Chains A and B, each alone.
Chain A
């Protein structure tokens, strides 16, 4: 086990660093194109951005005023450069709903979503890979058949439906877990980072952490279901593929123990497609989070987004879209890096 964790650390360390730098540079044009799209979207709103934002209150006079204050009368390229300049300075404008700076709003709600998404991803990966592996190893068994069928169901059930179902069973009927929110108000937890589970540990208020975890359980399970099912299926298929590879027969011909063959030879190669899947699923997780947050009244970015759409808060939406894109780019960067750690062929090419 220790050997392959360090596999990339000998003289290939330099190529790893070069790979990361190259991937980081590739992210720049991606983000640039994204900023163009968001800019164009905002300008293409029906009737122009000002009337779209004002909605029913739009009078010609107010539209003209807003056009002036927002610099919408400037030539398009100038507008774009100003827009880009503001973005780079972290100025995303103020929310038309709350009047707060969009950045402050996001800062307030981001930890909740990160906490939820991270918990869901953790569940999906921590259970998905072992289950997928075992299904492949005992292929054709009752366990395997059960896994294949239940993951199919898992993929097919919509998140919001599963959310309501979990709430009904575990909160309403069994009363084991709280139905909504992030933490009970009467816990009176001290907020340090905004991550409810983490804050309890940092401040020593372990009851607060426990309470936060209880609240986290159901939404995290609901959100984890689809990525879990997908990871199980991909892992299973990938392990079955790798088991047929010639190099597994070579490993067996060397008399390695079954344990070593499985971990060092089968699993490591099988994880390549799984890493890609995890990256893609993380992107989808953000979309799923919107629904999950709605069902469990989880005040995260999804809540912010839903409200922003309902009330046409364009500055907020613009910032959220850009944020989602950045997260997606970063996640895929991490996936590519993990890919390069697992597979030396990626580094060199």
Chain B
């Protein structure tokens, strides 16, 4: 049994009188124990909403979540609020994008750590504090015994994200969801945080869902990558296969828009034209069609299905990029 099985997860935002928006559309994937998978896409692709739905953190009003999210066989979507609170922080941890806004400004980082330890592990004040110091040590905070009484604004951005990671991993969850954990940080810090995350999950056998718009992040970290577009998964492949042979034009576009070390000098990066607002609804055809270089009339006749290709790859496209035609097979991707 997989650790996490997401099946046909659908999230619809809608209020009375307003046209409902399908943010996540029948998304299915599984995460095995200790595995790291990537959810990749632009803003608005539904990747963050997917993670919030798994965590049960979407607002109750005006949001409709259907489908199935099974964690160790338990259906999370049918748990009560109280039952879900018992799971969050204990079985499922989450790291957010901007550690400054994600940490409470008026509470010491120590308290923010110990409150989750005390909630789930029943430690007393002293034990929780000792454990918190150890956790801060583990995520690379220097002088943790002193730092523990500081407030978020007294720490640097990188330090704050380390604290956030310590909080998320405090109760040794089986699954960690990292939602753009490096996006708000300086480039020099990003690599450090990614290394820390990958070390920690490897050492503790924690499974991780890495949510990012940055394929560079995925390249160093994920076993399997799901590329999302317009609320649906458009391509899924094992990491090396995906980078070596992107089949969906959108994946190909994402790869083409990041600089690579093995790229000939003077060659320009190829951005994906248009933006998410050009999408057409999936009911009318492929949402990416208006921006797709391969699109023709077929693409707007009806939505392409997600089909399994040899090698376990999943692809949702009528006119995929032909393998090895324009992408030289290589696993050397710039980070």
Question: Is B106 close to A, CB under 8 A?
Answer: yes
A3 and B93 alpha carbons, distance in the complex (Å): 23
* B105 contacts A250, C-beta separation under 8 Å: no
Question: Contacts A247-B104, A264-B107, A268-B106; is A255 near B88 (CB within 8 Å)?
Answer: yes
* B88 contacts A258, C-beta separation under 8 Å: no
Question: A82: which B residues are within 8 A, CB to CB?
Answer: none
Q: Which of A73-93 contact B (CB under 8 A)?
A: none
Question: B98: which A residues are within 8 A, CB to CB?
Answer: 246
A257 and B88 alpha carbons, distance in the complex (Å): 10
Question: Is A43 close to B, CB under 8 A?
Answer: no
* A258 contacts B104, C-beta separation under 8 Å: no
Question: Contacts A256-B116, A264-B115; is A246 near B149 (CB within 8 Å)?
Answer: no
Which one, B107, B149, B168, contacts A4 given CB within 8 A? B107
User: Nearest Cβ distance between residue A214 and chain B, in whole angstroms?
Assistant: 41
**Which of A31-39, A50-58, A277-285, A341-349 sits within the interface?**
A341-349
Which one, B89, B96, B106, contacts A7 given CB within 8 A? B106
User: Nearest Cβ distance between residue A264 and chain B, in whole angstroms?
Assistant: 7
* B105 contacts A253, C-beta separation under 8 Å: no
Which one, A10, A251, A348, contacts B104 given CB within 8 A? A251
Which one, B86, B105, B146, B149, contacts A269 given CB within 8 A? B105
Contact residues on A (Cβ < 8 Å of other chain), bracket:
20 to 34
Question: Is B334 close to A, CB under 8 A?
Answer: no
* B115 contacts A260, C-beta separation under 8 Å: yes
Which one, B81, B89, B106, contacts A256 given CB within 8 A? B89
A-B contact count (CB 8 A): 95
Name the residue on B nearest A266 (C-beta).
Answer: B104
* B96 contacts A249, C-beta separation under 8 Å: yes
Question: Contacts A246-B101, A252-B88, A256-B119; is A12 near B149 (CB within 8 Å)?
Answer: yes
A335 and B103 alpha carbons, distance in the complex (Å): 25
Question: A253: which B residues are within 8 A, CB to CB?
Answer: 55, 57, 88-89, 93-94, 96, 168
Question: Contacts A253-B93, A255-B85; is A7 near B104 (CB within 8 Å)?
Answer: no
Which one, A4, A11, A245, A256, contacts B85 given CB within 8 A? A256
Question: Is B138 close to A, CB under 8 A?
Answer: no
* B105 contacts A257, C-beta separation under 8 Å: no
Which one, A10, A249, A269, contacts B106 given CB within 8 A? A269
* A247 contacts B103, C-beta separation under 8 Å: yes
A260 and B116 alpha carbons, distance in the complex (Å): 11
A253 and B115 alpha carbons, distance in the complex (Å): 12
Contact with A along B55-87 (1 / 0, CB 8 A): 101000000000000000000000001001111
Question: Is A265 close to B, CB under 8 A?
Answer: yes
Which one, B85, B89, B120, B151, contacts A345 given CB within 8 A? B151
* B103 contacts A4, C-beta separation under 8 Å: no
Chief secondary structure at chain B's binding surface: helix
Question: Is B108 close to A, CB under 8 A?
Answer: yes
Question: Is A22 close to B, CB under 8 A?
Answer: no
Q: Which of A117-175 contact B (CB under 8 A)?
A: none
Name the residue on B nearest A269 (C-beta).
Answer: B106
Question: Is B260 close to A, CB under 8 A?
Answer: no
User: Nearest Cβ distance between residue A240 and chain B, in whole angstroms?
Assistant: 13
Number of B positions contacting A (CB below 8 A): 35
Chief secondary structure at chain A's binding surface: helix
Question: Contacts A246-B102, A345-B151, A345-B153; is A7 near B107 (CB within 8 Å)?
Answer: yes
Question: Is B192 close to A, CB under 8 A?
Answer: no
Which one, B81, B105, B111, contacts A247 given CB within 8 A? B105
User: Nearest Cβ distance between residue B87 and chain A, in whole angstroms?
Assistant: 7
Question: Is B283 close to A, CB under 8 A?
Answer: no
* A265 contacts B104, C-beta separation under 8 Å: yes
Question: Is B239 close to A, CB under 8 A?
Answer: no
* A3 contacts B119, C-beta separation under 8 Å: no
Question: B154: which A residues are within 8 A, CB to CB?
Answer: 348
A10 and B111 alpha carbons, distance in the complex (Å): 12
* B111 contacts A4, C-beta separation under 8 Å: yes
Question: B90: which A residues are within 8 A, CB to CB?
Answer: 255
Q: Which of A193-239 contact B (CB under 8 A)?
A: none
* B105 contacts A254, C-beta separation under 8 Å: no
A260 and B94 alpha carbons, distance in the complex (Å): 19
A345 and B88 alpha carbons, distance in the complex (Å): 29
A11 and B146 alpha carbons, distance in the complex (Å): 9
20 A-B pairs with C-beta separation under 8 A: A3-B111, A4-B106, A4-B107, A11-B146, A11-B149, A245-B101, A246-B98, A246-B101, A247-B105, A250-B167, A253-B55, A253-B89, A253-B168, A254-B115, A254-B167, A255-B84, A255-B87, A255-B88, A258-B81, A348-B153
- Residues of chain A touching chain B, judged by Cβ–Cβ distance below 8 Å, are 3-4, 7, 10-12, 245-247, 249-258, 260, 264-265, 268-269, 342-345, 348
List 5 tightest A-B contacts by C-beta distance, closest first.
Answer: A255-B89, A255-B88, A246-B101, A254-B89, A254-B116
Contacts beyond the supplied A246-B102, A345-B105: 5 A-B pairs with Cβ under 8 Å: A246-B101, A247-B103, A249-B96, A251-B104, A253-B94
